[in-house]
Every structure is written in structure tokens, then in C-alpha cells.
Structure 1
Amino acid sequence: MGEEAFNDNFLRAAYGQNTDHIPVWYMRQAGRSQPEYRKLKEKYSLFEITHDPELCAYVTKLPVDQYNNDAAILYKDIMTPLPSIGVDVDIKPGVGPVINNPITQPKDVEKLGNIDPEKEVPYVLDTIKLLREQLNVPLISFSGAPFTLASYMIEGGPSKNYHKTKAFMYSKPIAWFALMDKLGDMTIRYVSSQIKAGAQAIQIFDSWVGALNAEDYRFYVKPVMKRIFETIQKEEVPLSMFGVGAGHLLQDWNDFSLQIIGLDWRTSISEARQLGVTKSLQGNLDPSILLAPWDVIEEKVKPILEAGMQEEGFVFNLGHGVFPEVDPDSLKRLTAFVHDYTNKIGR
């Protein structure tokens, strides 16, 4: 760690404590739109970068250095642990994760193994250790959630409708719950090893679980998520989760042993509070707005900040990840604006 004082605003916000200003970080802030990252990608694949701790630490730290964000999030992919349990996955440019041995039958679930993070993903843990020496802000690490990982494993890649996933869930419930248990075990081991290595917060991405209705979520998914959070909360770092189009599940998420619930842009901060969500909240500017002129961005950001500051426990973020077309200067200006605006009104 450098000589600069440690900025713990994100951690304090996670626990609902008073902060110097509203903390800011952005999902997919590392890479994507940064020219330095695009230059690296001309030579290295995502997996090659994540397997090189020094290179991965550099990419992870870039947005903190460039934007003055209040937290770093480890550069990796939710697919990172899957090869360790027997999933043949590639990340194909313009497509995303492609699974070469998709799950179609119960026997495919039975074949899945267990992860030993120290042996099978040591580069992730080494990167975390390296970053803890370099950063003056908290380091967030993450994992995909069982439903979202299962959706890729069953569909064979990204999906718009998750028909195969739901069909497997409905028609093969015993195999489905076995898959949830295996992925739940993997998540617990994977996340616990990252915390042991030095991760100071964890975010669970259940990106696509919004495809389920609330009744199905409660029966098919909520039990494994409850087990995951109850287990890893013993590690005593703040835990958060995020999903797209999942506003109808917020009350269920509020039941979990976590500190932060991330919102996409479809559900406002005020709506979440009216639903009875008592956790700290994170979000939720529509990332598309970042392509608009600055006066429009500012106009859209102010109401989010004002709603978020009605109670302690708010982290400013996007309602989904940064995409490649976003100008890095817009993110830098946005971070400065959030810090300045939330200082000016007496935080």
C-alpha cells in the first residue's frame, strides 16, 4: 500500500455508516473502454491476463488511478472457476462464454468435480495479494451465482430466453438441485479463498436470475443462495449481490445475510426502500446515459444521489456494467461530480 491514507468510504457505506462522500465504483470498470486495456487485448486474451498476477493487478488498478474511484474490483470473469470443476469454457470475442460440454442430462451434473482454489486458481489469489500491497481503496472480488453459472452451462453460452435452463429446472428437479448444490459448494470455496487472500468485499453476480418469477426463485434458487451467504458471512467482509431485471426479487434478497443490494436502472432507490429493503443499496445509473452530453448525465445522476442519501448506506454505481463505447473521461468526470456534489450538500 502506498503512503496515501486508506480510503474506507466504500466499506463504511456497506455497513450503513457515515461517509465523507458517497463512494463510487463501476461494474466492469476495469478494462472494456480503457485504451490501455484495449492495447493489452491486442496481445493477450482475457484468460491470459487473469493468469498473470502483475498484468491483472495493473488492469484492476487502472480505474482507481484514472477515475479516483473508491473501490477496485478484481479483473476476472465469472467463468474463471468453472474449468476447475470440469467445464470446458472459452471466452469468444463478440459472443461471450461458450461452453463446449453443456449439461443436458443428470449424468453431466454427476461428473462435475470440486474446486481446490489454492491449487487450481492460484493466480487469482496471487493477484489479490499483490493488489492489497498496491491499493489505497478496498478490493472487491466476486463470483457468479449458481443460477447464472448454470444458465451458461446448460444453454452452452449466452441466452435471451433461458428456455433450456428452465426446461432442465422444471423437468429434472433432482438433477437441478444437485447442480445448485455443487455450484453452491464451489462458490463458497472460491469466495472463501479470495477473502483469505485479502479480498475486502465480495459481490455475487446473479446476472440473469431475473428471468425467473418470484415463486420459482424461492423454490429453485433461494435455498442455495441463503446457504452461500450464511456461510461466507462468517468471514466478516461486506457481501453484496446484483442481478439484471430482478426488482421483483429484492424482498427475497433482503432476507439474505448480506450488506449491499445492487439495483439495475429499472428499480429506483426510492422504490427499493418502499418495498422494505433495509440493506445498503448500490446503483443505479443506466450505463447508456454515459453516451449522452454531460448536462444530461448530471441531470440523471442528481436524483439518484439525492434518493441514495436519504439514509446511510449508499454506493453510487451503474445499473449494469461499463461497455466499450464509454469515454473514460466521462467516468472520471462522473466520479469527481459524485464526490463533489455529495460533499457540497453537507455529507
Structure 2
Amino acid sequence: MTPSAFHSMAASSPTTVPTRPVAPAAATLPAEHPLRTGATADSSLLVEYRGGRDSQGRPARPQRRPVWFMRQAGRSLPEYRELREGTAMLDACLDPAMASEITLQPVRRHDVDAAIFFSDIVVPLRLAGIDVEIVPDVGPVLAHPVRTRADVEALPTLDDDAFAPVAEAVRRTVAELGSTPLIGFAGAPFTLAAYMVEGRASRDHLGPRTMMHADPETWEALASWAADVSGRFMRAQLMAGASAAQLFDSWAGSVGRADYAAHVQQHSAAALSHVQGLGAPLVHFGTGTSEILDLMKDAGADAVGIDYRLSLAEATRRLGEETPLQGNIDPALLAAGPEALEAHVREVVAAGSSAAGHVVNLGHGVPPSTDPQVLTDLVSLVHRIEDEREA
């Protein structure tokens, strides 16, 4: 990155919040894309993400209440552990055949209404040539944290050709899914930048939060870089066949509302701008973000994911009935026994009924210790609740 490019990225004031920037370039999904062929266009998932609308914008009802789980493809499945044995996480993500198979495993086992692409938010960093590894029981670890203006100026340029293994994995997966939509994803700029500053996971993310105020120009440039690579990561997945995309902001809950508005929201908006106008619904999810849900929505999302800390009824009150929601079963209830879990699931479904659309999910990811049969039974319960409503 040249110094002039760095200063250009840092030029906007951190107090300016352009919530819906113009997309970088107009594009049309390929003719064979499942949204254009109609294979997934009117799936239950997309009807709910659109707030009870079909692909033509007409009022519609889903064939069944859609449900999928964050981290459904992963360590809770014995077939996943067997397949990944001896393969590092990022190597698995960049092996198209393995990534595709892992993405498909929970769809076969659980009968969920969507696949979530198996990858990781730091994949764009690896593709850019940054020395990053995912260490078991630790998470992403960078060999060289990014903490100064010189560090940001030295960040590499990511070529679109680098996404070839990601696109190939998506194409393989979509060919097997048929009418079941694939959801692409990326890490939100704050979360990605937080890992880059800290060099690994952190409890309070003091590094990036300090940088926002101590060196705001460096923060703006770093967050802009992260927004660009995350947005292009999502775009590569959508162009290859994903029918929706979710921006994950795992650590945005560590930022106060004023700092989010001044230093974070515009970068999430920039990431989402890469995939707006393609006809694929966009979801924005974060943990501990109850006080900034409206700002997350205004960054450009069609639907908002809600973590387990806030009821969906309250989320609807804060965001308005026109906002589709996703969530928000407490992952802790997965191990609490069938009676407690069923009562909780029914409460969640009832609380989500006032929103324009509701996609059932967890309020965070599937814990690795989860019994897979519990998830299979949960999916069946959610679909059965819909049948009861129709009866």
C-alpha cells in the first residue's frame, strides 16, 4: 500500500458516518446462479429474510419455518472431526473439496434450511499473504500484529484471483445443494481489525479501541483495508453461487455506542456495499450488540441477527416490525435437557412472530460439545411448530 493510498483511506473524518455508500461496481449474478435460475429464489429462508416477500416482492409465506445454526459445520459433528483429522483449519478452508464436504455435512444430517459456507473470517488475510494461523483452543494468531501507520502501509494488496479456491468450493457446494440456499459470510471490519491489532483473541479489545482515539488516522486506514477484503470475500462467495450473506461482528459488543457510530459503522457499511444490489439478502450479526442494533441495521443489512441476551420481541420494538430477525436460541439450552430446550425454543419462536420475518438460529455458535442429535431434534421441533400453526 502506497503512502498516498494510505492517506486517501484515512481522509474521511471518524465522526462522519456514511451508512449506505455506493457499491464499488455494478454487477449481475451469473445466469447459472441459483437466484437467477430460481432454484433458491423463493426458498423459505429467503422469503423470511425479505420480510415475508417472494423474489418478485409479493407477500408470501415460507413453506416451513427456516432454521439453521451458526457453526453448524464443525466440531460437534463426528464426520467433521474424522475428515479434518491431521489438517490445519486454514488449510481445510482453502481445500475446495474438503470445504465443500464440511459445508454439506450438517445439511444432510440435520435437515436445516440453509448451508453456511465453511471458512473463517481470517481467510482473506491468509490469501493476502499475511502470516496467520488458527491455533487450537486459542483462535487466530498473527505473527506480526498491525499497530502502527507503517504496519498499515505495509499491508499487501489482495488480488481477486486469490479467491479462486473459495469460489471453487462454493460452486461445488451449490451444485450439491439444489434448492437449499448457501449463505456466504465474512468478518466485519472491526472484528477483523481487532484480531490484526491484538495479534490474537482478546477479552476487552483494548488495542483497537485505544487506536481509535490515540491514532485515529491509522485506525481508519486499517478498518478501511479490513472492510475492503471482507467485502470482496463476501462478493466472491455470492458471485460463485451463495444466495445470501452474513457479516459477523463477533467483538463489536466491546465498543460503546458513540465509538461504534464514529469509528466502526461506516466500515461495516463499506464492507456490505460490495454485495448490495445483487439481489441476495444480507444479514448483520454481532454478540453483545443489543445497544447498537439500529446502527448495525443502518449499515446496510436487510436482516439483523440477535444474540441470546435480548428477546426477539424487544429487538422488534427497537428495530421496528418491518425488520426481519434471525436468532436467538441460547446455546446453553442445547445441553439443558429436552423439556427445557423445547420450552425455550417455543418462547423464541413466539417472540419472533411480530417481526416481518424470522429465521430461527442460535444466539451464537454451536458449542463443540453439543450432541448432534439435539440439533437434529431441534430442527424437527421448529418445523413441527410451523405445522401446528397451520393446523
Fold match by TM threshold 0.5? yes
Counterpart for residue 46 of structure 2: 11
Counterpart for residue 71 of structure 1: 114
What does 1:42-81 align with in structure 2 at a 5 Å threshold?
42-81=85-124
Counterpart for residue 270 of structure 2: 227
Counterpart for residue 176 of structure 1: 219
Aligned-CA RMSD value: 1.6
Structure 1 consecutive aligned stretches of length 4 or more whose deviation exceeds 6 Å? none
2:388 to 314, 332, 344: 344
Q: C-alpha distance in 1, partners of 2:348/2:354?
A: 10
Amino acid at match of 2:43: D
Q: C-alpha distance in 2, partners of 1:312/1:219?
A: 29
Counterpart for residue 199 of structure 1: 242
Q: Does 1:106 align with 2:141?
A: no
Amino acid at match of 1:242: F
Gaps of 5+ in 2: 1-33, 53-60
Counterpart for residue 292 of structure 1: 336
1:254 Cα deviation from its structure 2 partner:
2.5
Q: C-alpha distance in 2, partners of 1:190/1:293?
A: 39
Counterpart secondary structure, 1:317? coil
Q: C-alpha distance in 2, partners of 1:168/1:205?
A: 21
Q: Structure 1 residues 311 and 275, CA, compared in 2 at 3 Å: closer, same or farther?
A: closer
1:213 to 256, 261, 268: 256
Counterpart for residue 374 of structure 2: 330
Amino acid at match of 1:131: T
Counterpart for residue 359 of structure 2: 315
Give CA deviations for 1:61-91 in whole Å, capped at 9, x if unaligned.
Answer: 0111100000000101111011233421111
Amino acid at match of 1:92: V
Counterpart for residue 248 of structure 1: 291
Q: C-alpha distance in 1, partners of 2:341/2:80?
A: 25
Give the % identical residues.
37
1:34 to 77, 99, 112: 77
Larger mean Cα displacement after TM superposition, 307-316 or 74-83: 307-316
Q: C-alpha distance in 2, partners of 1:311/1:174?
A: 39
Q: C-alpha distance in 2, partners of 1:231/1:326?
A: 35
Checking the alignment, whether the CA contact within 8 Å between 1:115 and 1:189 is kept in structure 2 is no
Q: C-alpha distance in 2, partners of 1:194/1:151?
A: 23
Checking the alignment, whether the CA contact within 8 Å between 1:25 and 1:317 is kept in structure 2 is yes
Q: C-alpha distance in 2, partners of 1:134/1:56?
A: 13
Q: C-alpha distance in 2, partners of 1:141/1:228?
A: 13
Give CA deviations for 1:212-231 in whole Å, capped at 9, x if unaligned.
Answer: 01000000011122233344
Q: C-alpha distance in 1, partners of 2:64/2:338?
A: 21
Counterpart for residue 345 of structure 2: 301
2:166 to 124, 140, 147: 124
> Aligned residues, how many?
343
Checking the alignment, whether the CA contact within 8 Å between 1:8 and 1:138 is kept in structure 2 is yes
Gaps of 5+ in 1: none
Counterpart for residue 28 of structure 2: none
TM-score calculated relative to the size of structure 1: 0.95
Give CA deviations for 1:13-48 in whole Å, capped at 9, x if unaligned.
Answer: 110112122100000000120001111232222122
Checking the alignment, whether the CA contact within 8 Å between 2:50 and 2:302 is kept in structure 1 is yes
Counterpart for residue 274 of structure 1: 317
Counterpart secondary structure, 2:328? strand
Larger mean Cα displacement after TM superposition, 155-164 or 33-42: 33-42
TM-score calculated relative to the size of structure 2: 0.85
Q: C-alpha distance in 1, partners of 2:72/2:319?
A: 30
Q: Structure 1 residues 311 and 343, CA, compared in 2 at 3 Å: closer, same or farther?
A: farther
Amino acid at match of 2:390: G
Counterpart secondary structure, 1:318? coil
Checking the alignment, whether the CA contact within 8 Å between 1:201 and 1:237 is kept in structure 2 is yes
Give CA deviations for 1:137-163 in whole Å, capped at 9, x if unaligned.
Answer: 100011101100011001110000111
